Amino acid sequence: MPADLQIRRGVPADAQRLTEIARVAKAHWGYPEAWLSVWKPALTITSDYLRHQLVHVGTIGKAPVGFYALEPRGEQWSLEHFWVEPGWHGRGVGRQLFAHALDRVRALRPGVLVIHADPYAAGFYVRMGAQRKGTVSAPVEEDRDRTLPVFEIDLRPLA
């Protein structure tokens, strides 16, 4: 596990680098270029997004290697982005970032964290303790039946 991973709040100046991480991480799974083009807006992290959303960046040295974004949705939280540069997969970066995200939810407003996961990331979320709750439709050009697994982690205090 990278002992030198530091996690800090994202800032507007991170926008370009975080966009690069999101795009290379998504492309890593071998999706067709046409799909990646359709997803380009969703994989673009803007300075405005960083100013207004709860984004945390994992760095090695000063270089960002992964990040996540939490968005409040009523009584729940949504993990809107969770990306790790492929060269850092399997080295503990994702595990540390995910633990940090859970700690943030517990500290800010304990609730249920909902994750609409990429199918390739489903195993990671299961290993992190998330419970699969179903699927959500996510059609793309030649796969109109495509779905995403939906996971939840209940971070509310026990009664």
pLDDT, tens digit (0-9, with 9 covering 90-100), for 138-159: 888 777 788 899 999 999 988 6
Residues 87 and 25: beta-carbon distance below 8 Å: no
Residue 37 domain-assigned (yes or no):
yes
Q: Please, which pLDDT band fits residue 32 given cuts at 50, 70 and 90?
A: confident
Residue 29 domain-assigned (yes or no):
yes
Q: Which CATH number covers residue 37?
A: 3.40.630.30
Number of domains in the chain: 1
Name, in order, each residue with C-beta under 8 angstroms of 86's C-beta and a sequence gap of 6 or more: 24, 25, 28
pLDDT for the residue 143 = 75
Residue 83 domain-assigned (yes or no):
yes
Residues 130 and 86: beta-carbon distance below 8 Å: no
- Give me the domain span that covers residue 63: 5-154
Determine if the pTM surpasses 0.75: yes
Residue 129 domain-assigned (yes or no):
yes
pLDDT for the residue 144 = 79
The mean pLDDT of 93-119, rounded to a whole number, is 96
Q: Is the pLDDT of residue 51 over 80?
A: yes
pLDDT, tens digit (0-9, with 9 covering 90-100), for 15-29: 999 999 999 999 999
Residue 106 domain-assigned (yes or no):
yes
pLDDT for the residue 159 = 67
Residue 28 domain-assigned (yes or no):
yes
Q: Is the pLDDT of residue 2 over 60?
A: no
Residue 159 domain-assigned (yes or no):
no
Residue 148 domain-assigned (yes or no):
yes
In 18-144 the beta strands, taken as DSSP E runs, fall at 54-60, 63-73, 76-84, 112-116, 131-137
